[in-house]
Amino acid sequence: MSALLLLGFGIVALIQIPGLVRKQWWRELTAFLVLWAAGLILSILLAVGVQLPQVTTIIGKLISGNGA
Partner 1 sequence: MLLEEGRISRFQLTMLMVGFIFGTSVIVSPARSAGHDGWIASLIGVAEALLIAWVFCALANQFKDKTIVEINDLVFGRILGKGISLIFIWYLFHVSALILTVFSRFFATEIYLATPKTVILIGIVAVCASTVSRGIEVLARCSMVLVLLTVLIIINDVILAIPMTDIKNLLPILEIPTGKLLWAAHSAASFPFAETVAFTMIFAFVNNQKGRYIPVAIAILIGGLSLTMLVARNSLVLGPMESVYEYPTYMAVQMIDIGDILSRFEVVVAIFFIFSAFLKVSVLFYGTALGLSQVLNLRSYRPLIIPVGILMIIVALTNVGSSVELFSFIEKVFPIYAVPWLFGIPLITLIVAKLRKLPQTGGDQV
What is the binding site for partner 1 (CB under 8 A)? 12, 15-16, 20, 25, 27-29, 31-32, 35-36, 38-39, 42-43, 46, 52-57, 59-60, 63-64, 68
Report in angstroms how near the CB of residue 62 gets to partner 1 at its nearest.
9
Cα distance between residue 20 and residue 28, in whole Å: 7
Report the C-alpha gap between 32 and 26 in whole angstroms. 10
Cβ–Cβ under 8 Å, residues 5 and 45: no
**DSSP three-state, residue 19:** helix
CB of 60 to partner 1, least distance (A): 5
Rounded least distance, CB 16 to partner 1, Å: 6
